[in-house]
Structure 1
Amino acid sequence: MKTIKGPGIFLAQFLGDEAPYDTLDHLAEWAAGLGYKAVQIPCTPKLIDLETAAESQSYCDDLRGRLDKHGIAVSELSTHLQGQLVAVHPAYDNLFDGFAAEHVRGKPAERQAWAVEQVKLAARASRRLGLDAHATFSGALAWPYVYPWPQRPAGLIDEAFAELGKRWRPILDAFEEQGVDCAFEIHPGEDLHDGATFERFLDTVDQHLRARILYDPSHFVLQQLDYLAFIDIYHDRISCFHVKDAEFRPTGRSGVYGGYQSWVDRPGRFRSLGDGQVDFGAIFSKMAAYDYRGWAVLEWECALKHPEDGAREGAPFIRDHIIRVTPHAFDDFAASRTDRAANRRILGLPPEHQGSRGEFQ
């Protein structure tokens, strides 16, 4: 078994205009000071020049060297925003347009082509950085129809997933060429938002081995999905892990759908680590038992607590939940070397060279 790596921290929620949140170097120093061992880097020009990283080994070596000075590694790169733009239903065009580079905004076809290229560049950059997994979103064509009313036309969801698979297949092939897993965060708002939709997607890409999962239990709490059983079912596809807490407290007024309320007022809301309902002891135990080899990365989102406090508390929380796996069974002190003859005697069986009546063969 392998001990989970960590703690890491996803930088997306902390990036800002003032130090220490303004540059990758400052963020690395800040994260190290809190006890983190790695950063998950969103592919924004403020933190990484993706085109250069995809082409230049010296650029990537320099980036890693700058982080090494602070004792910080790169856990993964992230193209959540670019991945979202691989598939956008027209209902969300305006809302998602700000995720794109300025020169493709308002141009859905050009925006999609740009997003596809960005994710492919991230595959190459990941390889140059020595990474074996990448974090992203799938985007969504079917999400407006998640609730089956009005009645969906026959074949609508099949058509949406066929198109989603068509768009992602060449991207997954690009990840295969680089030897990097493409881990989709299973997330409401994406067409891949639970196990059933992930399986449907796998069918459209011929069970592509690079189509993997970014596991985040908080999104399952809000959907009322069994986040522990999910690990049992899909552990061999999990390549990334966001450690994020959540709670779900339904009322007589509102439940899973949230009543269009703010995050503070919704029955299901994200919380800082330890403030919600997620059983992280059970999660880390399962991840260790299933030999998860990646990083445990804090993604901080909380409707109540200040982000600086969430980040400060996150590193020791993750560190204390990581199980340093045992190199041998707890009862090895009583073990003896294999002795087949002795085992047969214990079972009341004759030696192998004797017949059933004690006759030598």
Structure 2
Amino acid sequence: MKWTIATVTFRYHLHSYREIIRFAEECGSDGLELWEPHWLRHRSDIRQFASAFPIHAMSAYLDLTDFSLLGWKQRLLDKLDACRELGIPVLRLFSGTLSSSLAVERDWEQWFRRIEGINRVAEPYGVQVAFETHPGTLLDRAAGVDRFCQAISRNGWQQIGINFDAYHVWEFGVNPQSVLDEWHPYIRHVHVKNAAIRTKQFAMSNVYHPSGCFDELRPLGEGQVCIRTVMEGLCRYRYKDAVTLEWFGLPDGTLLKSEIQFLRELTANYKQEVS
């Protein structure tokens, strides 16, 4: 696996892109997950250093359940163009802002038609489009993710998959490790984070607020989600792509270095146990 740090960690701090790369290297990271607003604001710097340090995913935004949205295809193409230019293999999106609890059959049908189009458009780019398991979206409970996986398989969508966020899957009320049996063929990217309780501090309204509160967040080994079993499950299914440490607190180099080391040791220990 490849261990990456999300540049969204630096969303409210004055660091150049070169400084973020140096920070990530010192933490032992294998690369970055690029937050789309960083790309939109600092294109020249990112272009200059794109070959110096790998970017394994772009975390971007496009409300694909707003079926009145005009120009969504061009917005998608802009994101795919950026991925191709920077050599990014995965584009992370959300399904949209419609919760599965509010969606009717027609919503799913319209969304799947859009996914069919996205798969077709993304193919010549060679980019995987991964939709995150996330509250308030079509993929906010296990049944919705199951339905999505079945549609990927049924339609043969080669460029479409899941961004598996272990904490958010735990919020669904299921063990993240247990659903890997069904979902692992469709996972294209992984997010790991943790918290002391079932917190609202990962909500976008808090994460992107300048005075957001993050006191309930915890290191990976100390929160409610058993990251160890999640990583063991990914190892068992030979997942080899990127795992992003999605840290929303202050950019603490000591903490992030410890987290990357924690992940490396978990997977190393698993390999030793099964060898």
TM range (shorter): 0.7 to 0.9
**2:183 aligned residue:** 234
- The equivalent residue for 1:73 is 54
Alpha-carbon contact 1:221-1:247 (below 8 Å) kept: no
Describe the shift of the 1:311–1:263 C-alpha distance in structure 2 as closer, same or farther (beyond 3 A). same
> What corresponds to 2:159 in structure 1?
210
Match of 1:282 among 223, 229, 246: 229
Answer yes or no: is 1:297 the counterpart of 2:241. no
Tell me the distance in 2 between the aligned counterparts of 1:135 and 1:289: 24
Structure 2: 5+ residue stretches without partners: 200-211
Q: Give the TM-score, by structure 2 length.
A: 0.79
1:10·1:299 contact (CA, 8 Å) conserved in 2? yes
Per-residue deviation, residues 105-144 of structure 1 (Å, max 9, x unmatched): xxxx5xx334442333222332343333221111033x2x
Amino acid at match of 1:322: T
* 2:101 maps to 1:146: yes
Equivalences for residues 101-250 of structure 1 within 5 A: 109=68, 112-141=69-98, 143=99, 146=101, 157-201=104-148, 206-248=155-197
2:64 maps to 86
Matched, 1:64 2:50: yes
Q: Considering only aligned residues, what root-mean-square deviation do their CA atoms show, in Å?
A: 3.1
> What is the number of equivalent residue pairs in this alignment?
256
Task: Work out the CA distance in 1 between the residues paired with 2:227 and 2:193.
Answer: 9
1:228–1:282 contact (8 Å) kept in structure 2: yes
- Shift of the 197–46 alpha-carbon distance from structure 1 to 2, 3 Å rule, reads same
Q: Which residue of 2 aligns with 1:5?
A: 2
Q: Percent identity?
A: 21
Question: Contact between 1:246 and 1:270, CA under 8 Å: does it hold in 2?
Answer: yes
Give the match's secondary structure for 2:57: strand
| Candidates 17, 42, 60, aligned match of 1:24 | 17
Quote the Cα distance in structure 1 between the aligned partners of 2:180 and 2:57.
20
Q: Contact 1:161–1:204 (CA<8 Å) still a contact in 2?
A: no
Preserved contact between residue 182 and residue 212 of structure 1 (Cα < 8 Å): yes
User: How big is the shift at 1:326?
Assistant: 5.9
TM-score (norm 1): 0.62
Amino acid at match of 2:55: V
Distance in 2, Cα, partners of 1:326 & 1:202: 28
Q: 5+ unaligned residues in a row in structure 1: which ranges?
A: 50-58, 90-108, 148-155, 251-261, 331-361
Q: Cα distance 1:196–1:38, how it changes in 2: closer, same or farther (>3 A)?
A: same
- Based on CA coordinates, which of the two structures has the bigger radius of gyration? 1
Report if aligned partners of 1:284, 1:323 keep a CA contact under 8 Å in 2.
Answer: no
Residue identity opposite 2:56 in structure 1: S
Cα distance in 2, alignment partners of residues 12 and 114 from structure 1: 26
